[in-house]
Amino acid sequence: MLINLIRVYLVCVVARAEVIRISKIWEYLQKPGEHLHVNRRTTAHRILDLGYPCEEHEVHTEDGYILTIFRITNSPIELESSPRANKPKVFLQHPLFGTSDTWILNGPQHSLPFLLADRGYDVWLGNSRGNLYGRKHRNLTIHDTDFWRFSWHEIGYYDMASMLDYVIKNETINSKQRSLHFIGHSQGTTASMVLLSLRTEYQQLLRIVHLMAPAVYLDNTEDRLLQALSSYLGYHNLLSQQFSHQEFIPHNELFNILLYTACQQDLIWQGFCSPMAFMMEGSLRNKNLTALQICLETHPGGVSTNQLLHFMQVKHSSKFRQFDFGSHENRLRYNQRHPPEYPLEMIDVPLHIWYGEGDRTVNPIDIRRLAATISDVQLHRVPDRNWSHGDFIISRNVREYVYEPLIDILDEYEANT
């Protein structure tokens, strides 16, 4: 996860001209406008380009952040048959470094939002504060330190709550559902565990929760940078204080152009582009390279360093607990020296956990530990021993191994209610 981000910058600096056809890259860079525009296209533009209708909605959180979320109301395939009446709502939340764009990288045949829309679901794509669609605030700007004073705790407690409230209250003639299905990947699942354990009233709004590679316990993670830095940044100290409350790798269009250009399909070279797949983890085996290139147009989407610190704290403490502000501030905030653990035992909603044996970020041992803390849970191991963290988004086999079985579970639930 983190180590690949560092590699991106190192590779960009040391890459030799003979690796890639430099003349082709120069040709692209001579016309940067042709590539700059890809960064300005929103999730809605990308969905509309693929023939699906899309709506753009603005959500205001309790603490002042303004998030843009997207909705796919139906599909051209569904409209050819009999459209589903009173469509069930499904809400999807992206991983760390991701955006709503993340879910549609694999195209209409292999991306979960389109498959859900084809099966008659009302699909909503969330965004978290700090990413490309969450950079507005009623009082702050992205240049203010206070704007970045959040971790995935606030994303779960405030962003998730506000987005779910908005989706539930948004009724149309074809969708008047008062509850919804939730699907998250990586940090998207982390945020959901925060919400459901601390604000238990939201459990009644959820029908089924699907967690892909849930980043909750990280004792056995094989992420090398997370392993290395947690000993130094995984608790409150002078070094972690210097790292906190700022944007990690600020979004830079020129940087995205370079990545996008270098990973053109006719220029692809695994030694160069593999480490660029920062959020996809693992090698390019079974990866959709077209989707990888699209990913590099806009990712990383923007995060606070506090999000990374919070994951390091989870690793260092071996506990899924709230952010550690140091003993003095902890006493003021929590009335105790150490931050409290999230009460996962309070979660009482049907959970389905999808995991891969080859996931180096979220180890299957930690997945089973999570499952043991929750009463109503089913585990789904992907039938590929090399299945990695990012394969849930960009694998060529994700439709067969994960998405189709997942949608079948949703269909079965809807048929019996």
Active site residues: 186, 359, 389
Phi and psi angles of residue 155, each rounded to the nearest 5 degrees, phi first? -60, -40
CB atoms within 10 A of CB 34: 10
d(CA 362, CA 152): 17
Contact 43, 301 (CB under 8 A): no
d(CA 413, CA 63): 35
CB 195 within 8 A of CB 156: yes
Residue 380: its H or E element: strand 377-381
247-274 exposure pattern, b = at least 16 Cβ within 10 A, e = fewer: bbbebebebbbbbbbbbbeebbeeebbb
Residues 99, 299 contacting (CB under 8 angstroms): yes
Do the Cβ atoms of 322 and 198 come closer than 8 Å?
no
**For residues 153 and 151, what is the distance between their CA atoms, to the nearest angstrom?**
5
CA distances to 70, 305, 314, 321, 368 from 318, rounded to whole Å, are 36, 20, 6, 9, 14
Q: Are 180 and 203 in contact (CB under 8 A)?
A: no
Q: Burial level of 231, CB count in 10 A (0-12/13-18/19+)?
A: exposed
Three-class SS state of 381: strand
Phi, psi angles (nearest 5°) of residue 205: -90, -10
**Sign, CA torsion 255/156/62/245:** negative
- What is the spatial distance between Cα 145 and Cα 41, in angstroms, rounded to a whole number? 27
